[in-house]
Amino acid sequence: MTKITADFSATKGSIKPMHGVGQPPFLGTFGGFDFSMFRYLSEAGIPFSRLHDVGGRFGGGCFVDIPNLFRDFDADPEDPAAYDFTFTDMLLEALVQSGAEPFFRLGVTIENQACIKSYRIDPPKDTLKWAKICEGIIRHYTQGWANGYHYNIRYWEIWNEPDNYENINTNQMWHGTKEQYFALYAVASRYLKEKFPHLKIGGYASCGFYALTRKEGPDAETFRYYFDFFNSFLAYVKENGCPLDFFSWHSYGSIEETKFFAEYVRKRLDEEGFSHTEHTCNEWNFEADKRGTAYHAALTAGMLLAMQDSSLDSAMFYDARLGVSIYGGLFHPLTREPFAAYYAFLAFNELYKRQNAVTVSCDTPGLYAVGAQKDGDCCLVLANTTPNAVLLSLTLSGCRQKIKSCRLTDETHIWQTCALPETLNGYSFLCIILE
């Protein structure tokens, strides 16, 4: 029997925005773009949508990327006519209207064919000018410059995964050395922070910390490079007085592995004097090739709950695209209907709406539980990430214990209203609202 105890009178901080996503679900159509699926972002209360790899292969397309917004690098970055905001404006208008805050990556899309030829992942030929171009983009979206907007976009991320490979010729994200990236970060972060002291400037969207847990195998050397890059980056930023309002990193590992990485990152940031620096896992997706299954849905729910109980400040699932990529784990590419994993985000949002995390204990490995309350309105979410059904024993206090609603997702149910079950099936999650 699994014993779960929740005390809704014992608050312990806030429910954090763990249910962010990368790449919102939109479609290209003849003559325009279809943003109608953004209603799902609104329904799930998605707090952030990270803008990376948006709308194009190997740096192509027309959205977000610096070369898409500023097509001639030799042009004047103070001239509004040098920018092409057309398509990104459309995207951000729809995204902001959905209620999600853009988490804006300043850089370029992955170039999967870079080992043959790269196009836009080389270090900028003038780092200060690149920073000034970024300034124009930020002014457009936050200060109304160039017939722009006054959006509340707080997070501006300098590049994505420059540590992808040590060998420049095989690196699909950054066709330069780590020293060249550090120099870009130093110039851009200091310049942008001076211009926009109220905004959060950071990076670098690390490939991850697998070297901590995967010390053997064919990828071990690559994993060690990720690790070395991180430590070198912190040393460089510290030595050169660069701002680091947030540090972003990625994990495609297991729930417990990702939690372990999170605590390591927090520890190292604190050790190096960056206790003020937020950290976000802004790409994660465990067992992505199992998308559309109850198994993947349960793991997704478990990850959201586990991240809430970690040192992370935020997280973003990779990703919410509607397409054939295995990473598009929330929507069916043909029917456009939500996969079961989408409802894990709805469940977590029920916690997020209640704001105040409460004390919850669970005695069964592989079963995750988080509770929240606001003004006596209480919610408890459980995720069983094991194949085995578990008999539930709930002890609830600090609430009236009257169940308002209960929704179950498992092999045979998708977000289905039900009575409180005595047994929670394997690979399932349950959302209980009490009043």
pLDDT tens track for 95-110: 999 999 999 999 999 9
Mean pLDDT of the chain: 96
Decide: helix, strand or coil at residue 409: strand
Per-residue pLDDT, 56: 54
DSSP 355-377: -EEEEEEE-STTEEEEEEEETTE
Q: Is the pLDDT of residue 64 over 60?
A: yes
d(CA 289, CA 248): 24
Residue 93 domain-assigned?
A: yes
Q: Is the pLDDT of residue 302 over 50?
A: yes
Residue 156 domain-assigned?
A: yes
More confident residue, 293 or 33: 293
d(CA 228, CA 220): 12
Whether residues 53 and 136 share a domain: the answer is: yes
Whether residues 263 and 386 share a domain: the answer is: no
Q: Is the pLDDT of residue 57 over 50?
A: no
Whether residues 255 and 362 share a domain: the answer is: no
Residue 338 domain-assigned?
A: no
Q: Is the pLDDT of residue 115 over 90?
A: no
Instruction: Indicate the number of domains in the chain.
Output: 2
Whether residues 249 and 383 share a domain: the answer is: no
Closest to 435 measured CA to CA, from 394, 376, 357? 376
Whether residues 272 and 362 share a domain: the answer is: no
d(CA 186, CA 201): 11
Question: Can you tell me the mean pLDDT for 328-332?
Answer: 97
Residue at which a domain ends, from 284, 308, 328: 284
Residue 294 domain-assigned?
A: no
Residue 388 domain-assigned?
A: yes
Residue 199 domain-assigned?
A: yes
Domain of 396 in residue numbering reads as 357-434
Residue at which a domain ends, from 284, 300, 332: 284
d(CA 426, CA 293): 12
CATH code, domain carrying 192: 3.20.20.80
Whether residues 235 and 148 share a domain: the answer is: yes
Residue written as token pair 């926009």: 196
306, 11 contact by CB (below 8 A)? no
Closest to 378 measured CA to CA, from 406, 359, 399? 399
d(CA 4, CA 156): 40
pLDDT digits (tens, 9 = 90+) for 170-228: 999 999 999 999 999 999 999 999 999 999 999 999 999 999 999 999 999 999 999 99
Whether residues 235 and 374 share a domain: the answer is: no
Q: Is the pLDDT of residue 70 over 60?
A: yes
Per-residue pLDDT, 400: 83
Q: Is the pLDDT of residue 129 over 90?
A: yes
Per-residue pLDDT, 112: 87
Per-residue pLDDT, 27: 86
More confident residue, 367 or 117: 367
Decide: helix, strand or coil at residue 49: strand
Please state which of the ranges 47-61, 127-141, 246-260 shows the lowest mean pLDDT: 47-61
Please state which of the ranges 21-35, 51-65, 84-98, 312-326 shows the lowest mean pLDDT: 51-65
Per-residue pLDDT, 58: 38
Residue 265 domain-assigned?
A: yes
CATH code, domain carrying 389: 2.60.40.1180
Q: Is the pLDDT of residue 263 over 90?
A: yes
Question: Can you tell me the mean pLDDT for 28-39?
Answer: 87
Whether residues 365 and 277 share a domain: the answer is: no
Residue at which a domain ends, from 248, 265, 284: 284
Whether residues 361 and 278 share a domain: the answer is: no
Per-residue pLDDT, 59: 38
Whether residues 233 and 381 share a domain: the answer is: no
d(CA 428, CA 248): 29
HSE (side-chain half, CA atoms, 13 Å) at 433: 17
Strand partners, 361: 5
**H or E element, residue 102:** strand 101-106
185, 205 contact by CB (below 8 A)? no
Whether residues 271 and 364 share a domain: the answer is: no
Residue 133 domain-assigned?
A: yes
Whether residues 102 and 227 share a domain: the answer is: yes
Backbone angles phi, psi at 316, to 5 degrees: -140, 120
- CA distances 259 to 109, 164, 211, 265, 283, Å, are 27, 21, 14, 10, 14
